[in-house]
Amino acid sequence: MVGDAERIRAITRAEVEAAARRLAPHLRPTPLAASPALSDLLDAEIWLKLETASEIACFKLRGALNALLAIDGPKSAVTSSTGNHGQAVALAARRLGIPADIFLPANPNPVKAGMIRLLGATLHLGGADIDEAKDRARAHAARTGGTFVDDGENLDLIAGAGTLGLEIATALAGIDAVYVPMGSGSLVGGTAVGLKSVQPGLRVVAVQATGSPAMVESFRARRAVERPIATLADCLVCRVPAEAALATMLAALDDARLVTDEELFAAMHTYIARAHVLVELGASAPLAGAWAERERLKGKRVVLVVSGANAVPEHVLRALATPPLGGAFA
């Protein structure tokens, strides 16, 4: 059992590199592609890290698989999630030939819930939010002896997410800034460590929804700040900051900002219209954040992490009804 002092520390470059070696036989690097139309919109050189090009259309398999591979013979996997992490644990468990129990809050994203079932995991629904689902999942793991794969406290999971940053920084030189969506903070913290292990001078910015500001406020206060959740962007939610994710974020992140749901819908429309990329609502956060800082980014080389594409149809329709950033693309 990992002690509290070990659990809440920031991950290291060595751990991200070890995760990259562990995952190499199992996962291929995802595409990193320039976007001429978004570059024109932002008057900068814009690149997209397309984590949507995975089996579950999001980045989460990196962390979940690394966490389970790091354990000697887990008999089952248990986790809580708003959807994408649950898919990842379900797929990682399936690859390892072990059962998985995934706990989601009531009324989850149906696309993500459907994929979890398709991947063979047992789905448990209930609780008002992700933190209540986590309490139920932890209790189940304790009763059954399953391995609980925490999306914010598991250091191997955060290191696995960090391989995304390592891939970006080794594939593209001279990066000025990278924008990353933020929910629990595991992705942005791990990614920042991976990026700065290769290019220490670049700037990493986390973007979260105004309706779930806990991690941004925690970054600014330099301590955990609990806040309620009121956003449609389910992959950006966090009510109670996880200590390990927060520690890593505070050690490696340069800035964090908030965007409204309306800005997220506008950015989602912009991804579809200009980049021909489908994203889920929360995954549009980096573009919304970069748009808000476009004056600062002029002439810079910028990477936007496109973290997931598990969009529900009603969000796509609302996005297309929302004017895109910068107006219609002719």
Q: Which sign does the torsion angle of CA 65, 168, 48, 250 carry?
A: positive
pLDDT band at 5 (very low <50, low <70, confident <90, very high): very low
pTM: 0.94
Asked whether the beta carbons of 99 and 122 are under 8 A apart, the reply is yes
Q: Is the pLDDT of residue 158 over 60?
A: yes
Q: In the predicted model, what is the mean pLDDT of residues 9-32?
A: 96
61-148 is a CATH 3.30.300.20 domain: no
How far apart CA 160 and CA 165 sit, in angstroms, is 10
Average pLDDT over residues 152-172: 96
Distance CA 283, CA 243 (A): 23
C-alpha span between 277 and 219 (Å, rounded): 30
What average pLDDT does the segment 238-265 reach?
96
For the stretch 264-289, pLDDT in tens is 999 999 999 999 999 999 999 999 99
Q: In what order do the strands lie in the sheet with 203-209?
A: 32-34, 45-50, 301-306, 177-181, 203-209, 255-259
Beta-sheet pairing, 147-148 with 32-34: unpaired
Residues 6+ apart with CB under 8 A from 305: 49, 51, 59, 164, 168, 178, 179, 180, 181, 187, 191, 286
- pLDDT tens figures, 75-126: 999 999 988 999 999 999 999 999 999 999 998 989 999 999 999 999 999 9
Question: Positive or negative, the Cα torsion across 279, 280, 286, 290?
Answer: positive
The residue ranges of every structural domain in the chain are: 4-58+155-321, 61-148
Predicted confidence at residue 19, as pLDDT, reads: 98
With beta carbons less than 8 A apart as the criterion, state whether 239 and 226 touch. Answer: yes
Decide if 4-58+155-321 and 61-148 have a common fold: yes
At residue 12, the 3 state secondary structure works out as coil
In this model, does residue 6 exceed pLDDT 80?
Answer: no
Confidence of residue 4 (pLDDT cuts 50, 70, 90): very low
Token reading at 316: 């796509």
Q: Does domain 4-58+155-321 have CATH number 3.40.50.1100?
A: yes
Nearest Cα to Cα of residue 238 among 133, 109, 103:
133
When pLDDT is cut at 50, 70 and 90, the band that residue 207 belongs to is very high
